[in-house]
């Protein structure tokens, strides 16, 4: 496991000041430091909820944890039962700190915590006191972890302030609001197939946005949330492989090759796609190509336009009493018209505007009611969103009349009656 890259943020440190000064310019003896406690003996005195929180962090870091307390709360008992910590079920006694590299005391009794801290001081062992930050020799910051980045936030003796700051930093890291991209080359390349949603930058997942912010190379589709590219570092290589109806300048085989080539060269590759990469997005083919080449690949689901774009027009693809199921169809490939015409749910066609006249004719000729509600939603969530609604028999003519064009989603079924302009 790769050790997290430490980033220390102290609430009492202002830019332009020495790290050893607080916000009043006074000397501050606190020195920010990360400790590797893996396999090292650590003593925790106390068995309550505060001690349990410290214990979980310590065992996750690999410490050889010894708990000293007459009683322990349930979370601590679970750690002990799982063999992740040792327990001496008694009060603290002299000699309990012998051999320890680090001590935490959280008994809830000031005189006991003071005695533990004094014993640690005599042994020249760092001791964290939960009861009195000012009297403590060491402090545990609030920590935000995202990937291999760790940000430790000290609240200057105010734990609640530290937690609020940590939460804000965590959110900014998870959403790509802070510079996550590594300055050093990656030890191994990888590919992330990221579903960007129907185009609005707010509809990409936080994980997708973070992986995009970490990328060295971005291979982007036409319908992806391309405005996010403006936030990338100047030296990030952006490869546009966007397709338009009837025009595929970069064949799928070449896209697969590009992903593998850049990843095997040690680069972090983000494949930014519209909608969801595994819903009519060729994501399965790209993932297979990466795996066959031995390239680590991660799939980040996206908000599929098959559901989101109808929703943008007020159309639920399922609705009690009207539709219990929906079928997503690629509108420009050979289809089983008889089966589609006989469905009791909603039909959602992607990439089917140019063939809308044939689609409606086929559905009607195979038995679907010509009066079935239908709608065409263009540029869902975009600046030019437009909704055209009509009966199935008339939808193609109506769409042609207004000049409907891709990108668009076609909805056929009773739920299309809910379409709003």
Is there a domain that residue 185 lies in?
no
Q: How far apart are CA 306 and CA 315, in angstroms?
A: 11
Is there a domain that residue 211 lies in?
yes
Is there a domain that residue 62 lies in?
yes
Domain count, the chain: 3
CATH number of the domain to which 108 belongs: 3.40.50.720
Is there a domain that residue 410 lies in?
yes
Q: Are residues 48 and 148 both part of a single domain?
A: yes
Q: How far apart are CA 357 and CA 129, in angstroms?
A: 74
Q: Are residues 266 and 363 both part of a single domain?
A: no
Query: What is the C-alpha R_g of the chain?
Result: 29
Q: Any idea which residue has 């590759």 for tokens? A: 269
Q: How far apart are CA 353 and CA 175, in angstroms?
A: 34
Q: How far apart are CA 161 and CA 158, in angstroms?
A: 5
Q: How far apart are CA 388 and CA 395, in angstroms?
A: 8
Q: Are residues 26 and 168 both part of a single domain?
A: yes
Q: How far apart are CA 373 and CA 368, in angstroms?
A: 11
User: What phi and psi values does residue 46 have, to the nearest 5 degrees?
Assistant: 130, 150
Q: Are residues 20 and 166 both part of a single domain?
A: yes
User: What phi and psi values does residue 344 have, to the nearest 5 degrees?
Assistant: -95, 0
Q: Are residues 161 and 208 both part of a single domain?
A: no
Is there a domain that residue 163 lies in?
yes
Which residues, 6+ apart, have CB-to-CB distance to 358 below 8 Å? none
CA dihedral 280, 283, 284, 287 (to 10 degrees): 180
Q: Tell me the residue length of the chain.
A: 421
Which helix (H) or strand (E) element contains residue 149? Answer: strand 149-154
Q: How far apart are CA 377 and CA 305, in angstroms?
A: 10
Q: Which domain holds residue 119?
A: 5-174
Active site members: 221, 243
**Each residue's pLDDT tens digit in the chain (421 positions)?**
444 444 444 333 333 334 444 555 555 667 888 889 999 999 999 999 999 999 999 999 999 999 999 999 999 999 999 999 999 999 999 999 999 999 999 999 999 999 999 999 999 999 999 888 888 888 888 788 877 788 888 776 677 788 888 888 888 887 777 777 877 777 789 999 999 999 889 899 999 999 999 999 999 998 899 999 988 888 899 999 987 666 668 899 999 999 999 999 999 999 999 999 999 989 999 999 999 999 999 999 999 999 999 999 999 999 999 999 999 998 766 789 999 999 989 999 998 899 999 999 999 999 999 999 999 999 999 889 999 999 999 999 999 999 999 899 999 999 999 999 8
Q: What is the pTM of this model?
A: 0.69
Q: Are residues 22 and 162 both part of a single domain?
A: yes
**Cα dihedral sign, 210-214-220-225:** positive
Which helix (H) or strand (E) element contains residue 210? Answer: helix 206-214
């Amino acid at each position: 496991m790769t050790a997290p890259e430490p980033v220390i943020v102290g609430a009492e440190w202002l830019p332009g000041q020495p790290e050893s000064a607080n916000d009043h310019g006074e000397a501050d003896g606190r020195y920010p430091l990360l400790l590797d406690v893996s396999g090292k003996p650590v003593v925790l005195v106390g068995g309550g909820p505060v001690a349990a929180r410290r214990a979980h962090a310590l065992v996750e870091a690999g410490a050889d944890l010894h708990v000293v307390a007459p009683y322990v709360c349930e979370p601590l008992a679970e750690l002990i039962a799982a063999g992740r910590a040792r327990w001496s079920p008694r009060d603290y006694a002299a000699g309990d700190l012998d051999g320890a590299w680090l001590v935490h005391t959280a008994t809830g009794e000031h005189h006991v915590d003071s005695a533990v801290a004094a014993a640690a001081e005599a042994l020249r062992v760092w001791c964290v006191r939960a009861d009195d930050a000012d009297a403590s020799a060491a402090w545990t910051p609030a920590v935000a972890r995202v990937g291999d980045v760790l940000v430790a936030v000290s609240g200057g003796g105010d734990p609640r302030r530290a937690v609020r700051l940590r939460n804000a930093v965590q959110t900014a890291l998870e959403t790509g609001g802070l510079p996550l991209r590594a300055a050093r080359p990656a030890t191994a390349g990888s590919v992330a197939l990221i579903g960007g949603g129907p185009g609005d930058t707010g509809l990409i997942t936080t994980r997708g946005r973070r992986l995009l912010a970490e990328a060295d190379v971005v291979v982007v589709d036409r319908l992806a949330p391309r405005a996010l590219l403006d936030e990338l570092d100047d030296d990030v290589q952006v490869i546009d492989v966007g397709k338009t109806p009837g025009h595929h300048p970069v064949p799928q085989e070449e896209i697969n090759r590009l992903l593998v080539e850049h990843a095997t060269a040690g680069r972090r590759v983000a494949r930014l796609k519209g909608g969801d990469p595994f819903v009519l997005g060729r994501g399965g083919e790209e993932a297979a190509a990466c795996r066959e080449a031995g390239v680590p690949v991660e799939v980040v689901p996206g908000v599929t336009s098959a559901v989101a774009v109808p929703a943008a027009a007020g159309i639920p693809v399922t609705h009690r009493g009207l539709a219990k199921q929906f079928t997503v169809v690629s509108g420009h490939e050979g289809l089983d018209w008889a089966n589609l015409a006989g469905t009791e749910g909603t039909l959602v066609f992607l990439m089917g505007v140019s063939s809308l006249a044939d689609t409606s004719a086929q559905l009607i000729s195979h038995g679907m009611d010509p009066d079935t509600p239908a709608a065409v939603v263009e540029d869902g969530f975009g600046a030019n969103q437009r909704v055209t609604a009509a009966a199935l028999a008339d939808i193609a003519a109506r769409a042609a009349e207004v000049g409907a064009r891709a990108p668009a989603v076609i909805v056929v079924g009773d739920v299309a009656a809910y379409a709003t302009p």
